[in-house]
Amino acid sequence: MIDQSLPNAQFISTAPGRVNLLGEHVDYNDGMVLPAAIDRAVRLAAKPTLDGRVHLRAIDLNQSVTFNFDYLSAKRDINGEPLPSWALYPAGTAWSLQEEGLALTGFDGAFTSDIPIGAGLSSSAAVEVAFAALWQQLGGWQIERVKLAQLCQRGENRYVGVNSGLMDQFASANGVAGHALYFDTRSLFWQPVPLPSGTVIVVADSGVRHSLANSAYNDRRASCEQALSLLSPHLPGIRALRDVSPSDFAKYADLLPEITQMRARHVVDECYRVAQALPLLKSGDASGFGQLMLACHVSLRELYQVSCPELDILVDLAMHLPGCWGARLTGAGFGGCTVNLVQEDKAGDFIQALKVGYCNKTNRQAEVYLCQASQGVTVKSLA
């Protein structure tokens, strides 16, 4: 238990990871997404202190650090040493909250996580949200959860230096048990949408790791920006690729360089798939929604080109197994995980067959997790 790792802990902050069921690589194009928080989480135990410092232990890494709120911008600990990479996420969250003028309280803390790192399940966002919610509890200030997510995102973008969208922090902060979250990343409108009854989420970790801060991710963002610039003269009023309909894109696609056209086509079609998905989920149509998931994967593989052989193998295996409604890569790509919508009564056999098939084809072991859509961040008082 996390509270046993910190004697006299007074609070436990628990923030879930997430899978994205549909709407991939569209959040930085002002698009609509369908993530779900999952029952794998960061757990942070804390005891408030009065010294204005954060004494923090990363249990899984067996490392500790202490930093001071007065010197956050320097990204150094109290001894003047550079903060270790894992500590940039809580420190960046503190920096962003401080920039907003919110009161911060020092604490002794220890945290652990059962979210696989680098697998596309937003382990870093869960760290940020867990710390932000704890500081909100300790500081007694009120803030809406979407705003809290935005402040966490700002810390990741401007302090850590990872140019991520808002979806990850949003899902960790706002998850609803048993539901996906329809989220319009432009208007910030969102609503929970029930997952089809009798289904579960299965996440399969390929074991291949990626870095969000790599050039391939940034190249794709640049392609989207180039497409917007070239289409704007012909489609007045568009502010992002989410504003381009599939029919309008078909008219002007030839104006774009080949690679840019491929990247933009994925975004335009993916936004349309999310719109199609809403009525399917609300009517409990697992088969129809699953087909959209598969179409998303094909687009990510062929047009956005962020898949890899291991992810393609996992998706192909899954779609040939009984009880699987849909499968696709989830997260930034280039490795990480696939997400599968599976009949609950067939999930056990599905997981075992997927593990065996993947090992036979790749000589790799896949970690496969049965997940439930879970609630967002909570802070529990132990007093």
Please give the Cα distance from 49 to 352 (Å, whole number): 47
H/E stretch holding 48: strand 32-48
CA separation for the pair 85, 91 (Å, rounded): 10
Q: How far apart are CA 338 and CA 355, in angstroms?
A: 13
| Measured CA distances, 350 to 179, 246, 330 (Å) | 22, 35, 18
Q: Among 96, 100, 68, 66, which Cα is nearest to 84's?
A: 66
Give dist(CA 204, CA 355) in Å, integer: 9
Going from the C-alpha of 211 to that of each of 15, 38, 216, 316, 331, the distances in angstroms are 22, 22, 10, 24, 11
Q: Identify the active-site residue in 30, 77, 108, 168.
A: 168
> How many other C-beta atoms lie within 10 A of the C-beta of residue 86?
18
271 burial level (CB within 10 Å; 0-12, 13-18, 19+) = buried
168 is catalytic: yes
Residues that are catalytic: 168
